[in-house]
Structure 1
């Protein structure tokens, strides 16, 4: 029977960004706001994020041809695009189609954008209380999105992937919330399961979550694809590139 799913799927969080660095500085200083000159879509990679992306590209360049991406789907945010282009350049995959898709954009934080956890508590105490009560899966800040909103747009993306890239090898480059929400969809998780994974720690920058199609005759579950490894970091370790786990700059820290 003809497959409806990619032969392989890799989901990658972008390299460390200038926003990650600014957020760490704001948290350490006990500030309410994160000092960034760019709008979120324009935040670039940090020098370390560039190093991480190059390391990931070099690792892919060492893999067999049938273990390399045939298409790259990418968030339109600059930090993700820079990551994808560096990976393609340093893996000698410049010929691979790079397709930007706004459904892979970062979760929108609305009125809470650029606030630290302390800032949310100080400026929006009622929203902080509501978020704590409702939980991040369902809580939607004014002008922003809940995880459910992100999942809804990713369901549309998943339909496109199965329609246009069945049997092919697909790399997705996006953001921390996107990685977790794609795991929720592909692995058919519950709210409790994905939030338990989220509480374990942030998705490292340039970590790779790997899926493959079920082999013919293989014992199958009802899941679309088989998880091979989550948050694979060997490419960074091999290049002695520092591993970073900072949340994206626009999100409040975990409770």
Structure 2
């Protein structure tokens, strides 16, 4: 047996999200973020989005509510979880697990797509050859590396939260990787999923597995209706440079 429901929540909009999108639009080569990735906080919009998640949680009946909660240690994710739980009124302890952290970009960190091509042309060529799933930037991780983390944390969730409904607050790339593992996707299916639409900030993806074992079924994906219901803006920012849908 293991967990029977997963609620995957992407963190609310962060200052890094806003800076990255602005840099891409302006054609800049670098992204202006004053703190390390782990310390990037939410914007005011991101906090509103997190509170909207909490309001949605408070409206669930007792049988549908999460009974356990896990989060990435990165500030933008942990803050989202804390704000959501506080707003929901549900008695949940947020368990922090470093395996749920965002993808580590190594030497490509803080580079826009243009900056990557201009400053690291050999690496850009390697990425095109290997593809998004297997390309590992020096000092960073590939999506395949993240899969190892995801399998490990899901195994522990099954052991610790047997039969429970589990909320996981993390990052867009990790949500895609968790779905890859849980739904038994192939590389091609994962890439198609990432290209179809970006994971929105504070979006909800619900997976179920009533038996507590085997593959999961996606009941809803990238749902943002709770944001509109609470008057919170809907924002879609891709994560790191290598996590954008293009390619």
Q: Please tell me the TM-score bracket, short chain as reference.
A: over 0.9
Contact persistence 1:70–1:97 (CA under 8 A): no
Q: Distance in 2 between matches of 1:133 and 1:53?
A: 38
**Mapped pair 1:143 → 2:139:** yes
Deviation at 1:252, TM superposition (A): 6.1
Given the alignment, which residue of 228, 239, 242 partners 2:233? 242
Contact persistence 2:207–2:219 (CA under 8 A): yes
Task: Give 1:119-130 correspondences, 5 Å limit.
Answer: 119-130=115-126
Contact persistence 1:110–1:145 (CA under 8 A): yes
TM-score, length of structure 2 as denominator length: 0.95
User: Paired residue for 1:8?
Assistant: 5
**Mapped pair 1:38 → 2:29:** no
User: Paired residue for 2:185?
Assistant: 189
Contact persistence 1:26–1:34 (CA under 8 A): yes
Q: Distance in 1 between matches of 2:241 and 2:117?
A: 15
Q: Distance in 1 between matches of 2:168 and 2:34?
A: 27
Q: Which runs of 5+ in 1 are unaligned?
A: 217-221
Contact persistence 2:173–2:239 (CA under 8 A): no
User: Paired residue for 1:198?
Assistant: 194
User: Paired residue for 1:229?
Assistant: 220
* Deviating 4+ runs (over 6 angstroms): none
Deviation at 1:9, TM superposition (A): 1.0
User: Paired residue for 1:59?
Assistant: 56
Contact persistence 1:214–1:226 (CA under 8 A): no
Over the aligned positions, Cα root-mean-square deviation in angstroms equals 1.5
User: Paired residue for 2:88?
Assistant: 91
**Mapped pair 1:78 → 2:72:** no
Given the alignment, which residue of 91, 100, 106 partners 1:104? 100
**Corresponding residue pairs, total:** 246
Taking a change above 3 Å as real, the CA distance of residues 19 and 251 of structure 1, as seen in their structure-2 partners, is farther
Question: What per-residue deviation string (whole Å, max 9, x for no partner) do you get for residues 75-132 of structure 1?
Answer: 0000001100011010012x31110000000000000000000000110001111101
TM-score, length of structure 1 as denominator length: 0.93
Taking a change above 3 Å as real, the CA distance of residues 47 and 251 of structure 1, as seen in their structure-2 partners, is farther
Q: Which runs of 5+ in 2 are unaligned?
A: none
Question: What per-residue deviation string (whole Å, max 9, x for no partner) do you get for residues 38-97 of structure 1?
Answer: 10000000111111110110011011122111111000000001100011010012x311
User: Paired residue for 2:127?
Assistant: 131
Q: Distance in 2 between matches of 1:63 and 1:184?
A: 27
